[in-house]
Every structure is written in C-alpha cells, then in structure tokens.
Structure 1
Amino acid sequence: MSRSVVIIGAGPGGLAAAMLLAASGQNVTVIERGARVGGRCSRLELGDYRFDAGPTFFLYPRIIEELFESCGFDFRKEVEMLRLDPLYRLSFMREDGAFDHLRLWSDPQQLAAAVAEFSPHDAAGLQQFMLDNRAKLAAFEPVLSRPFSRMTDFLDPQILKALRHLRPWASVDRELARYFQDPRLRLAFSFQSKYLGMSPFRCPSLFTILSFLEHEHGVWHPVGGCNAVIDVMARLAQRMGVRIELQQPVEEIVFEGRKAVGVLTAAGVHRADAVVVNADFAQAMHTLVPDALRTRWTDAKLASKRYSCSTFMLYLGIEGSVDLDHHTVLLAEKYADNLREIECGSAPPATPSVYVQNASRSDPTLAPPGHSTLYVLVPVGNLERGIDWARERARYRALVFKRLEAMGIQDLERRIRVEHIITPQEWASDHAVFRGATFNLAHSLDQMLCWRPNNRFEDLERVYLVGGGTHPGSGLPVIFEGARITARLMAEDLGFKALAPRQATALTPRTGAALIGACE
C-alpha cells in the first residue's frame, strides 16, 4: 500500500529520505521554504561565482554510494568526485606572528613522513592511532546505523561490545594525548570536532574517528561543490516521482490529537499519513508544533539544552589566483583561549581561528577564467549571549581580513569582485537556525543516542526526524545514515516494505599493513 508522506525541508536528510521512501513506492512531497534545495548545504551564486553555502568537506562516500545504489543509481556516474591530496594544510600561528605549517596527506607514506618531520617523537603514535580508530569505527558504525529510543537499547550485545571503545571520561584532546605529546599535533587530529561545532577539549573521545575517516577514506570534493550532490539527489528524487515545492514555508504541522495528519502552507493543507521534519529541530519545534503537544521536548527543555557554536562567513569572488591549498586552516596562537571565547559567547573571539577553502584551485567550474572563489569560515559563539552582530559586522570583517593577510593572501581588498557575509544573526533570521547554532544541538554524551531527539519523534505520532538535530547527529555522512534509519522506522510503522540495503562498491581503505610500513 502506498502511503503519502510530506517532508518539511529539502536539505540533505530530507532529500535522502525522499529518495528512499519513493524507491519503496511511497507518495512523497518535499516542501522547502527556500528558492533552491539544499538547506545549509545549498549553492550560493554571486554573479559568475559559485560557492557551497555550508559544508565543504565531503567525507566517507560509502554511505551515499549505498543509498544511491539501493534506489537504483550509481553515485559515481551521477557525481564527479575528486580525491584531495594533500587533505589540507594547517598553519599554527605563534605568538611572535610566525607560522608552523603542516600538510596532512591521504597517502600513508607522505602522512607518516610529514608527522615525523613535524614532531619526530610522536611519529610512532600515528600507527597506533590509526589501528585503534580503525577498530573503534568498526565497532561503532553498526551502533550509529540503528535507532536509539530507550535505555534498554544499550543492552544489545553489539552495543555493549562497542561501548568499551567509548572512554566517556575522556575528551578528544585527552584521548589523543595517548598518541601525541605535541599539542599542535593533537590539534591536527582534533580540529575536526568543529564539524560538530564543539571544542576538542569538550567533545567526547568517540569523535577521534572523524580525523581517522579523513585519512582512511579520504577528503573528497564533488565537482561543483557539495551542493552539486544535493542537486543530483533532487533531480533523481523527482525522476522517481517525488514532488518538490520550493518557496513554500510550512506554517504549522496539522494534528488530530497528537497525530500528525499534514502540514499547512499558504497554499492550504497538505494531507499526509506521516510528516518528516528536516528543518532545524529546535526552530521547527518552536514554530511548527504547539508547546502543549510536546512533553519531552518542550520550549523550556529546548532552552535548557546546549547548542553548538555558530560561524561568521565570508564568500569572496576575486580576480586572480590565491596561493593556498584547497583546504587551509589557520589555528589561533592561543587556541584554548579562542575556544573559551567561543563557548562563552559574550563577544566574538579576539584572535580567531580561520578556515579558508580555495576550491578554484581544484575545480575551475566555480569561477570565471582567471578568477577564484574564497570561502572563509570563522567559528564564533551562537546567539545565546546576545552579541549585536549589526554592530560587530564591519569590525569583525576587518579583523578577519587581517588574519587572511597573515596567511599570505595579499592585496585582497582590491581584487574582490563579489562579496557576501553571513553572521550568526543571518543564520538565525534568514536560514531559520535556532540561536544561529549552525551545527544544531551540541554532541555531548548527554545529547547523543537515546538522549538526542529520536528519528521516530517520541513526543508525537506519525512525526519523524532527519538531519543534524536527530540521531545519529551532524555531518553529511551521518545525516545520510540518519535518513536510512528514519526510512526503516517509517516502513515498520506505516506497513510498507523497507528497501533492503545493497552494498555499494567500497572505497579502497588505507590498510593497516600499508600504514605500518609507512611508519617504520
């Protein structure tokens, strides 16, 4: 029997769920408030320059490959992917203004050599880090691919076996201290906690698997940007019969008692057997669901939760080229102080860390000939402490430009042809992100697994969640996995047959033997 499903939001999770449900024979409509698909993973066009609005690192393609194949498509035929090597360059700014540079590579021999040159006494730790995290990922991947709705889920033998790798008392930084003495090297393998909007000094030790994923399975660039993957997903979903309605903000979810029966837009009520929420979780609860209908996730409870940091964004189309790697990260000279400023959130960081994507170096489709695109991201506090970004905007832009100049980008102001800025205030007001927290609920242990909003939303009937605000969490591969969990739960509840996962051709991993040889 075909069921009707309305999905609120055409972000990565919403489109992944739409593909899976349509492939199962369901009648799917995706309703998107914006003018294009993608949500925080959409495309930003400024004249002839194209940017990713949000994520720029594409990691662990195996999950999206499996998702495509289960729907009858070959991901590699639909999306041209470039594997980056080096993965990125890290620049550690010293207090005297000089830099220590470290390039990290996908190739095991080059990676081992770079680590040995940068911190000789830590070279041996690389081999053990890779071996331990390979085992950790193997143990936790099945855990993160299943739903969590109650404490008794932890009694599953597979989960109990995985928990021995968790080390809940340790942060990412403390965990890395088992392998690397040099604090700069620990930062090189922990700055990825910013993908979750968290500090490595607070982020649970589980997430050392983020940097491991980069080295084991590569950092990828889809030609056209990560947004190109989302555009392909939307096109294929429509080919499968999914209706996508743009510029249609959902005003509320329609209920009969506690059961969702559709959504209301300016065009009227869209009736449905189930509703999938792919909007920012906290913002959606405040705007789409009456507080009285929620029990566990009331407005008061949402206000008490911890949220990720936000970001100050610069999108620059410039004349000429820039001598930076595809991905470059400037790590503040007082990194711990920088993180405390972000967490405090009462003022923007005085000496910020800066991430720059110079994607035109690898992908000439993003800018006119002889021009470049620069994507600049600065982690800052969310809006909880009330920073006035209308007042701070110009001052902070000038500060960020000084950091870019210190990174070696010269004569930048004169070469700018287009420019766009997003502050935490715009994330909140224009992009409907609660408190401007671009990475959703923080990924602390008490806000993960069954303590995170469930994929089958526990407060309401026939309401399901996908996206970074639900289990398993933020990040594109994790969001795609969450969509698979949600689709399976919906099949159970609505009485249709879930897609049997079909194994895609796996990427060749960097084997333990290869890395051991490189480290000897």
Structure 2
Amino acid sequence: MSTAPARIPTESPAGSRHVVVIGGGISGLASAALLARDGYRVTVLEANDELGGRAGSWERDGFRFDTGPSWYLMPEVFDHFYKLLGTSSDEQLSLVTLDPGYRVYFEGEEQPLDIAASREGNIALFESVEKGAGAKLDAYLDSAEDTYDIAKKRFLYTTFEDFRPLVTRDVLARGAKLGRLLLEPLATLAARTVSDDRLQKVLGYPAVFLGSSPYITPSLYHLMSHLDLSDGVLYPMGGFTRVISSIADLARAEGVEIRTGAAVRRILVENGATVGVEYTDGAGTLQRVESDLVVSAADLHHTETAMLEPAHQTYPERFWEKSTAGPGGLLLYLGVTGEVPELEHHTLMFTREWQRGFEAIFGKNTSVPTPASLYVCKPSVVDPATAPEGSTNLFVLVPIPSDPTIGRGDVDGDGDARIEALADHVITQIATWANIPDLAERITVRRTVGPRNFVEELNSWKGTLLGPAHTLKQSAFFRAGNVSKKVRGLYYAGGSSIPGIGLPMCLISAEILVKRLRGDTSTGPLAEPLRATASRVSPKAAASSAAVAQAAPAKASAPAKASAPAKASAPAEASGSTRKPAPAAD
C-alpha cells in the first residue's frame, strides 16, 4: 500500500464548492443528488463495489434478493424527494398495492390475521376479533394520522438548529397530547386501546421499524399505524434495488461523480476545518481527495471514532456507551423450489412471550430469543423477476441482540456454527407455524447474515441492523444532529442522525442537510423542485457549525443544474400503470 496519498484537485472551472459524500447508500446518494442540484460539485466515495449499503442486492441461480429494506412506507416522502429533482415516483417507479398488506401468524393460534389494504377493511378485521375494537381502532387511527401530519409539518423536516419555528399554534394546541405520547410507551397505548393480545401486537410491532421495542418506544410513534393500517402497503417493482438505481441515476444526471471500491479511512482536518478525506482504492492505494465540505452518510459511530482524531469527535466513545443500539439481525436469503402459498408478500410471526423476546434483545443481559418473533418477505409472486419460474424467493429477518460475537453468516451453510444453527431453527419454526412441512427440503439457495457481517461489511455500530433505537432519549432533537460541533464543514446524513431510521427518514436526512447548509430553520419540506441557491455555506449555517473558529470565505456560486431526465428504464415487469393492485394471493 502506498504511504504517500495521491492528491486530486477539487476546484471545477465554474469554481463551485466541492463536497465529498462518504457512503453510497440511500442517504449518501440522496444527499449527493440534492447538493449537486443546489450548486455544489459532489463526489461520492463508496467502500463496496456496489451501491446501496444496507439496501443492497444479491443474486444467485436466478434468484435476486433485496438484502435489507423491503417495506415501502411513507410513499409521499419518496414522491416529494423525486419532485425535488424534477421528476416523480410515477416516473421513476412502478408501484403496486399489496392486498392483503401483510399476514400475521401467532404462536399457538391456527389461523393467521390478514391485514387489509384499506382502513375500512382493518376496522372490520379488528371488530371481528374483538367486539368494539373496530371503533377503538378508528379513533386510534384518527390520532395516528393527526400525529403523523404534525410530525411531517413540524418535526421531521427540521434541523432543530432553532427551536423558535417549533413554537406554533398547532404544536401548542397539541402540547398535552404530545407530552403524554412522549412519556407513555407504545405497548401501553396499544393495551389501553384493545384487549386482545393479537391486536395489541399488531399495534405495537411498528416499533421494530424504528429499531426499537414497543416497551421502550414512545407512543408518539403510534403514528406508524397510519402508514400500514390506513394508507396500505406498496411494493416498487424491481424491489428496493430499483429505488437505489433510480436515485443513483438521478445523482449522476445532476453531475455527481460516484466512485465505488473507495474506502474512506480518515477525514482530514486542518485548523479546525475539514479539507478532504483519505481513502484506499480497489488496488489498496491510499488516495486523497481535497474538498470544501465533507458529508458522512456512513455509520456515525464509525465516522466519529475511526475517521476522526479524539479532539475532533462530537460523538466520542463515551457518547455511545450511554446509547441504545437497535436490534441486530439474523438474515436468511432462501431460494425455494415450488410455491409457498402459506406465506404472503409480507408475513410476520409473533411469539406468545412477546415482551420476553424484546427484553432478551434490549435488556441488560441480552440473549437470542427462542423461539423468536420474525419477518418473512416473499416478493416473487408480485415480482416474478426475483425468482426462476416455478420457484419462490424468501427473505427472512429475525431481530436478535446487536452483538457481533453471535457470529457471521455465509453461503451454503458456511457461516459460523451458531448462526447456521439458528438459521436451521428459524426455518423449522416457519415450516411449523405456517404448516409447510417440506420447506427445508425445497431450499436450493441459502445465504445467512449475522451481526458480525454488519460490522465487517458496513462498519455498523455493535452490528446493529438499523442504527440507534428510537427511544425517548434518541428521538427528535435528542437524536444526534447532522453537523459536527468540533469540525467546520463536516456534516452527517443517514439513520444514525436526525430524523432517524428507515429509508424515508434517510431521504429526509438528505433534505435537512441542504436546509442546514442554507441556514434554513423552517420545519416543513422544501419547495418542489429544488432551485439552486448558492454553492457555498450560508453565513448562518457556517456560524452554527463554527463553534471552534470563524468560517472560511465562500467562493463564487455555480450555475443551476439542468432538470433531471424523465423516468429511467424500469424492469419489464414494471410496465403499465404506476400504481396497480397486486396479483391475487396464491
């Protein structure tokens, strides 16, 4: 390996300020696209050979698996992001509505519950399970929708740089309600709403989307039930691989340079300000890229503790010692011969001792729950391109503790012994609960992933699947901010920082990054489409991040970017109407 890094010039002929974005996952790509449209010159450095990060893909023997996210929720957030770039979800994606939205199996119960695609259908379902529960769900969803709307309007799209814009009539009018929702756990609110244990779990499980437990997640997040029980669940044809490729295409169209196989080792700091990064390329050669700004969309713990010297760390190791990690995950990618009609596109399996399972994951003395509540995705009925004809694609996620010592997985049973034994147990559990007795015999493709994979391949803190959990102390303005307090010109995006976990939140994190650089303290989304302002940090934004020294002078603005192209090519299966019902259940 070279010890003298090559120097790469940064100034373009137009004189626009140069930004290096660390990480080519959804938040890094989204940040790059918006920054480029706002007038910056942007280079993305991705350590892996493929883009996507946690939202990657893997193919074998005709099966194509999304390796991470698989729920398309908050569709209006995706559409708003695309519209900022001059396009739309309709132009970029082909969305189908899943009906049922998902299926839920309960330990000890023969019949699962199928969650409908409509609010009315779910009210009827709750009523059929528990007399009076339909009306209670109706009121619950009214509250969820109201909370969701105020969250989008006041709390999700803000940098929390200035709290005065939050002191508004609509927030003050909900002050008592919001205070109660922040202090009461989601599980408690669910139990006050319905008596049936199965229905309580349906209302409580969205905490898992937030990398948390319903017993420690504030009931403010009951707003999540508006997304699946009222709005319905969508699926983008081509999977989340298509979502990532669309954003990467749009970023390139805005002039972003994307380099893969570029593992950033160090953020360079001189006189209290970032001046670029050092990275190793695919040949192992140390390279240096100079820049005016650095945005890390990588794991925040890794960014702070591995890429910065202790004196430059806003979030040093002692910060993380007091933080709560989201769950780790045992992931299985299974190619199965034949159909599996017992499972829906989204299938959840909840254990009888549900609370004990969460305590095993998040408690002081952690352990792998046995049996475990788990999730199975079967995209191949809706999206035949994900599996060979006559076969089924299954992706399984089992929440477990964020503990790298549990091990790493691999292909064809070659992972660590504990991971493979856990995988065998999970396959047996799915087969037993869903009455698929020959499931194990029909598996032709098998890959496992454990917490150590997340550490080694994604630099994930503690091997967590998602990031810091959404507990009260790690939500909203209590969550890590998106600007360094020690290094001028260093910013953050992604699930580790505000607003939080999930692909929609990562898109919003890119937008509030732009707002931070502009010194925009408003609480709502930016106007569509995004209009370039200037390729420099605004005086207000510079002052807010210059706790250690005065900001450097800005350079000349770059010309505005051209509008993004129309829809990029989509898979053949995605042709036709952009939002259509899924095929009938098999």
TM-score between the two structures when normalised by the length of structure 2? 0.81
Which residue does the alignment assign to 1:503? none
Question: Which runs of no fewer than 5 residues in structure 2 stay unpaired?
Answer: 1-14, 281-285, 409-415, 520-535, 539-556, 562-577, 580-586
Report matched runs for 1:484-499 at 5 Å.
484-492=511-519, 494-495=537-538
- In terms of mean alpha carbon deviation, does 325-334 or 106-115 score higher? 106-115
SS at match of 1:403: helix
Report the 3-state secondary structure (helix = DSSP H, G, I; strand = E; otherwise coil) of the residue aligned with 2:380.
Answer: helix
Structure 1 range deviating more: 176-185 or 123-132? 176-185
- Kindly indicate whether residue 263 of structure 2 is the aligned counterpart of residue 243 of structure 1: no
Residue deviations 1:267-289, cap 9 Å, x none?
Answer: 52111111111101112212111
- Aligned match for 2:201, one of 165, 169, 187: 187
List aligned pairs for 1:395-414, cutoff 5 A: 395-406=421-432, 407-414=434-441
CA distance in 1, matches of 2:454, 2:184: 32
Q: Which runs of 5+ in 1 are unaligned?
A: 500-506, 509-520
Q: Does 1:310 align with 2:353?
A: no
Per the TM alignment, residue 151 of structure 1 is displaced from its structure 2 partner at its CA by 6.6
SS in 2 for 1:312: strand
Choose the corresponding residue for 2:366, options 343, 346, 353: 346
1:468 matched residue in structure 2: 495
Matched to 1:259, the amino acid is A
Query: C-alpha distance in 2, partners of 1:347/1:271?
Result: 45
> In structure 2, how many angstroms separate the alpha carbons of the residues matched to 1:418 and 1:359?
16
Q: 2:44 aligns with which of 25, 30, 35?
A: 30
Cα distance, 1:158 vs structure 2: 5.3
Asked whether 1:108 is paired with 2:103, we answer no
Give the letter aligned to residue 328 of structure 2: S
1:139 aligns with 2:150: yes
Contact residue 250 and residue 264 of structure 1 kept, 8 A: yes
Q: Deviations over 1:68-92 (max 9, x none)?
A: 1121122212211111121101111
Which residue of 2 is the match for residue 328 of structure 1? 347
Provide the rounded CA distance (Å) in 2 between the counterparts of 1:137 and 1:67.
18
**TM-score, with normalisation over the residues of structure 1?**
0.91
CA distance, structure 2, for counterparts of residue 201 and residue 463 of structure 1: 35
In 1, the alpha carbon distance for the partners of 2:84 and 2:164 equals: 30
More helix by percentage: 1
Task: State the partner residue of 2:525.
Answer: none
- Determine which of 131, 138, 152 is the counterpart of 1:120: 131
Find out whether 1:383 has 2:403 as its counterpart.
yes
Distance 1:469 1:104, change over 3 A: same
2:533 aligns with: none
Q: Please tell me whether residue 174 in structure 1 is matched to residue 188 in structure 2.
A: yes
- Tell me if 1:319 matches 2:337: yes
Percent of aligned positions that are identical: 28
Change in CA separation of 1:454 and 1:427 when aligned onto 2, cut-off 3 Å: same
For the aligned residues, what is the CA RMSD? 2.2
Contact 2:406 2:451 in 1 (8 A): no
Provide the C-alpha distance between the structure 2 equivalents of 1:485 and 1:164, rounded to a whole number of angstroms.
Answer: 27
Aligned equivalents of 2:76, 2:83: Cα separation in 1: 10
What SS is found at the alignment partner of 2:54? helix
> Which structure has the larger Rg over C-alpha atoms?
2
1:72 aligns with 2:86: yes
Question: Aligned pair count?
Answer: 496
Taking a change above 3 Å as real, the CA distance of residues 459 and 126 of structure 1, as seen in their structure-2 partners, is same
- Partners of 1:77 and 1:394 in 2: how far apart? 42
User: What CA distance in whole angstroms lies between the structure 1 residues aligned with 2:61 and 2:272?
Assistant: 47
Provide closer, same or farther for how the CA distance between residues 162 and 17 of structure 1 changes in structure 2, counting only shifts above 3 A.
farther
Structure 1 residue 150, shift from structure 2 partner: 6.5
Distance in 2 between the 1:226 and 1:292 partners?
Answer: 39
Over residues 251-278 of structure 1, what are the superposed CA-to-partner deviations in whole Å (9 max), with x where a residue is unaligned?
1111113211111112521111111111
Partner of 1:216: 230
- TM-fit CA distance, 1:357: 0.5
Whole-angstrom CA distance in 1 between matches of 2:516 and 2:348:
39
In the TM superposition, residue 439 of structure 1 has moved relative to its aligned partner by 1.6
Cα distance 1:162–1:6, how it changes in 2: closer, same or farther (>3 A)? Answer: farther
Say which SS state the counterpart of residue 513 (structure 2) adopts: helix
Hey, what's the Cα distance between the residues in 2 that align with 1:23 and 1:410?
54
